[in-house]
Amino acid sequence: METTILQIKQKLLNYFLTESVICPKKHIHVFDYQCDPEELKENLLIVALEDLETQGIVKKFQAANNTWWALTKPLAMYEQTVPINFQTAIEMSQVINEYCEGFKNQSELCDHLNIQEKDLQKMIIIIENLLAQTKEA
């Protein structure tokens, strides 16, 4: 299966969780994705970096005869606002609350009128558990 720019950007963001600079020529081996022909692999990485640059996440510079990109600020400093409608908030809180009640964990219940980051993190845990069960089956 071919890799998309969106998938490469996700790999780059994962990379930038622990690193602050990248040179595609020097770091291409870090990224595991399929590309046909293989020679395009570095070019696709550059296109993804250029896309992140237009979003203000990285900045391109030249050093030691190579093109590098650096984070403009640590990824942890970026916040996102995600508006959700009331129906989605109710459904999300029901899933989280059923999960918490299954573990007798009343302290982690979700308030459908005040969805917070901890609730999204709980949804990630629920999904990861479901994926793990699917892989075991």
**DSSP E strand stretches across 1-137:** 21-22, 58-63, 66-71
| Close Cβ partners of 46 (under 8 Å, ≥ 6 residues apart) | 24, 67
CA distance 95 to 115: 13
Average confidence (pLDDT) over 69-92: 93
What per-residue confidence (pLDDT) applies to 3?
A: 78
What per-residue confidence (pLDDT) applies to 114?
A: 93
Q: Does domain 5-77 have CATH number 1.10.260.40?
A: no
**Out of 29-33, 34-38, 111-115, 130-134, least confident range:** 34-38
Average confidence (pLDDT) over 43-50: 93
State the span(s) of the chain assigned CATH 1.10.10.10: 5-77
Kindly tell me if the per-residue pLDDT of 2 is higher than 70.
Answer: no
Kindly tell me if the per-residue pLDDT of 91 is higher than 90.
Answer: yes
CA distance 73 to 20: 9
CA distance 7 to 41: 13
Q: Which residue has the higher pLDDT, 7 or 137?
A: 7
The model carries a pTM of: 0.71
Average confidence (pLDDT) over 14-18: 95
| Close Cβ partners of 74 (under 8 Å, ≥ 6 residues apart) | 20
Pick the closest to residue 22 from 77, 54, 79, 57 (CA basis): 57
Regarding beta strands 58-63 and 66-71, do their DSSP bridges make them parallel or antiparallel, or are they unpaired?
antiparallel
% helix / strand / coil in the chain, to the nearest 5? 55, 10, 35
Pair 20, 71: CB distance under 8 Å: yes
**Which amino acid, one-letter code, is at 52?**
L
Kindly tell me if the per-residue pLDDT of 38 is higher than 70.
Answer: no
What per-residue confidence (pLDDT) applies to 131?
A: 93
Kindly tell me if the per-residue pLDDT of 1 is higher than 60.
Answer: no
